Amino acid sequence: MRSVRWMAGWTLALGMTVAFASVAQPVRPGKDVPMARAALPAGVTLSTWAEGLEHPWGLALLPQGGALVTERPGRLRVVSGQGQLSAPVAGVPRVDARGQGGLLDVVLHPDFARNGLVYLSYAEAGDGGNSTAVARGKLVQDGGQWRFADSQVVFRQAPKFASTLHFGSRLVFARDGKLFITLGERSSRQTRPDAQGLNTHHGKVVRINDDGSVPRDNPFVGDKGALPEIWSQGHRNPQGAALNPRTGELWVVEHGPQGGDELNVVRAGKNYGWPLYTYGEEYGGGRIGQEASPPGFEPPLYSWVPSVSPSGLAFYTSQAIPSWTGSLFTGALSGQALIRLQLDGEKVVREERLLTDLGSRIRDVVMGPSGELYLLTDARQGKILVLRGAGAAGS
């Protein structure tokens, strides 16, 4: 009996050694792939579309032209095609606008043109502190006044916790109409381990139906003690998310601590490691976890050391700026740049840092219908900037 157990243990250990030896190191900029400051491609112009926005956080383009933009203190505005801002939309949820909290992302229902539904994520106060919530409502115009009508909360991150940090909060509809919500672990030593527990929404990506109900094919439905909305675990603070246009899968960027920001492909039931496996360390130094992810944990596709604080994520599918076609863009907050990642399938092969001379924290990146790229700058006097290819219509 003992020898059988010993043999089994030895076989397991050998298997793990082999598996550890084959753990892929994430690709790191400047180390494994070229990384450089870069100028805009010839003919690409930068202009300001709208200004006077207080810490704009999320942007959703409207099918009829113009856009919706959130301001973190709690305002949603309609931007006209010419860049004029409406008065704040009435009826948006009350938000807890402290620290990183407030009104955060905005996304249109896939069938918005018919149903007018808009989804907002925000920091919601409640028993125990606050957490990320998602409300949906109908965008309507009465007289000249825009309203978020019939507001209904479709998701609340549980439990609430007293922190003003790490709300995550990007919203992405998948091709099948399910809604992904990225959620932070609240940046506390107390809640950090929650990212590894299925009994809370801290440090998770969740997936719900458009009405807030739980899809029956979510990976942990029926698991005792697991919250059924959970899609993936082990995240720290994912602030950028987009669907890969080739595969339909969710790609996410998340903030590491000091170092260790990550790009991940987020798949059902997978564990992305935080805080057990990370390329970052405590602020001021000090180990948090191990670096390489063992089997059972997903290593990042790419990891920034030092951190850039990525926010917003967009695949550039247009031909309007040909040298950018197929690239992945993210904004950098602390990195104060627009980051372009050149991809070969799921490999990052090159990184460019654009617009570094602006000195702006870039909060969100959205591609427009003509291949223009909209950027939000995170500031007291924030702006919506637009990059357009040569030959694209002005204004």
Q: Which residues bind Ca ion (CB under 5 A)?
A: 262, 272-273
CB of 262 or CB of 352, closer to Ca ion: 262
Q: How far apart are CA 239 and CA 201, in angstroms?
A: 15
User: Exposed (0-12), middle (13-18) or buried (19+): which is 140, by Cβ within 10 Å?
Assistant: middle
CB of 288 or CB of 355, closer to Ca ion: 288
CB of 86 or CB of 271, closer to Ca ion: 271
CB of 91 or CB of 273, closer to Ca ion: 273
User: Exposed (0-12), middle (13-18) or buried (19+): which is 222, by Cβ within 10 Å?
Assistant: exposed
DSSP state of 258: B
CB of 44 or CB of 253, closer to Ca ion: 253
Q: How far apart are CA 59 and CA 49, in angstroms?
A: 12
DSSP string, 328-362: EEEEETTTTEEEEEEEETTEEEEEEEE-GGG---E
CB of 243 or CB of 276, closer to Ca ion: 276
Q: How far apart are CA 369 and CA 361, in angstroms?
A: 24
258, amino acid identity:
Q
> Is the preceding omega at residue 110 within 30 degrees of 0, hence cis?
no
Catalytic one among 166, 201, 202, 255?
Answer: 166
DSSP string, 262-284: EEEEE-TT-B--TTTB-S-B-TT
Q: How far apart are CA 78 and CA 66, in angstroms?
A: 7
Q: How far apart are CA 128 and CA 147, in angstroms?
A: 30
206's enclosing H/E stretch is strand 204-208
CB of residue 229 to Ca ion, shortest distance in Å = 20
Active site residue 235: no
CB atoms within 10 A of CB 31: 11
Annotated active-site positions, please? Answer: 166
